């Protein structure tokens, strides 16, 4: 059973998440309110103790919430989720970049937006326009701790991941987690 702040978040997003097109504005507002609750989140941040991700609420089906922190100067791989996503910054600066989905499987996504998310700021994504990467760029403040709220367990869905440095693309099959950092090598086909 989730504790009170998580239960309140889940109750607040239930109707917006169940809409035919999820109301990402309402979902995001609820997530930002949770990101502002530093007293509640401080023990989670301490528990994470470095870079990585920590599940806060992870049922088999339905919305999932995790705390994420990437090291200084490290971005995620360029990827999509296949489900709606809301990202809210708790501390630090999270750089979030969006990409246009390529028309051909052999093409790479094209960068369309780069924003720095300060504490209590939000980015939302809805497939098929959910290709992005995020993390920390050198010279953009301190690395962030963020909340990532997903519509469901993305690892149950086929997804995509790109390595823009090498021009490679791969399909992540259900069960595959993908690369946490763009600097990690993409596995061979």
What is the arithmetic mean of pLDDT over 99-105?
90
What is the arithmetic mean of pLDDT over 145-166?
93
Chain segment 68-83, per-residue pLDDT in tens: 999 999 999 999 999 9
Q: Which of 41-50, 96-105, 118-127, 176-185 has the lowest mean pLDDT?
A: 176-185
pLDDT of residue 88: 98
The number of folded domains in the chain is 1
Burial grade of 122 (CB within 10 A; 0-12, 13-18, 19 or more): buried
Q: Taking the model in full, what pTM does it have? A: 0.94
pLDDT of residue 105: 76
On whether residue 178 sits in a domain, the answer given is no
- The rounded distance, in Å, linking the Cα atoms of 123 and 134 is 10
Domain of residue 60, CATH code:
2.60.120.10
Q: Which of 31-35, 113-117, 171-175 has the lowest mean pLDDT?
A: 171-175
Range of the structural domain that residue 132 is part of: 4-168
pLDDT of residue 1: 55
What is the arithmetic mean of pLDDT over 72-98?
96
With 90 as the cut, is the pLDDT of residue 59 above it?
A: yes
143, 71 Cβ separation under 8 angstroms: yes
- Containing 41, the helix (H) or strand (E) segment is helix 38-48
On whether residue 181 sits in a domain, the answer given is no
pLDDT of residue 50: 85
With 90 as the cut, is the pLDDT of residue 176 above it?
A: no
On whether residue 100 sits in a domain, the answer given is yes
On whether residue 175 sits in a domain, the answer given is no
- The rounded distance, in Å, linking the Cα atoms of 31 and 64 is 12
For 114, other C-beta atoms within 10 Å of its C-beta total 12
Q: Which residues of 131-141 are buried (b: 16+ CB within 10 A; e: fewer)?
A: bbbbbbbeebe
On whether residue 179 sits in a domain, the answer given is no
On whether residue 158 sits in a domain, the answer given is yes
- Which residues have a Cβ under 8 Å from the Cβ of 187 and sit 6 or more positions away? 170
pLDDT of residue 181: 85
On whether residue 129 sits in a domain, the answer given is yes
On whether residue 189 sits in a domain, the answer given is no
Supply the DSSP symbol for 10: H
């Amino acid at each position: 059973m989730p504790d009170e702040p998580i239960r309140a978040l889940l109750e607040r997003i239930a109707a917006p998440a169940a809409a035919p097109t999820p109301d990402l504005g309402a979902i995001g507002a609820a997530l930002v309110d949770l990101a502002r609750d530093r007293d509640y989140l401080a023990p989670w941040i301490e528990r994470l103790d470095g870079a990585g991700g920590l599940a806060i609420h992870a049922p088999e089906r339905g919305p999932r919430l995790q705390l994420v922190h990437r090291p200084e100067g490290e971005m995620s791989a360029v990827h999509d989720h296949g489900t709606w996503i809301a990202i809210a910054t708790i501390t630090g600066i999270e750089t979030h970049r969006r990409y246009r989905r390529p028309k051909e499987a052999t093409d790479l996504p094209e960068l369309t937006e780069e924003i720095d998310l300060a504490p209590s700021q939000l980015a939302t994504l809805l497939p098929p326009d959910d290709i992005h990467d995020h993390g920390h760029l050198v010279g953009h403040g301190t690395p962030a701790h963020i909340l990532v709220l997903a519509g469901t367990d993305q690892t149950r869905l086929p997804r995509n991941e790109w390595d823009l440095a090498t021009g490679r693309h791969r399909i992540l099959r259900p069960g595959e987690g993908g690369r946490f950092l763009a600097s990690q090598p993409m596995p061979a086909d």
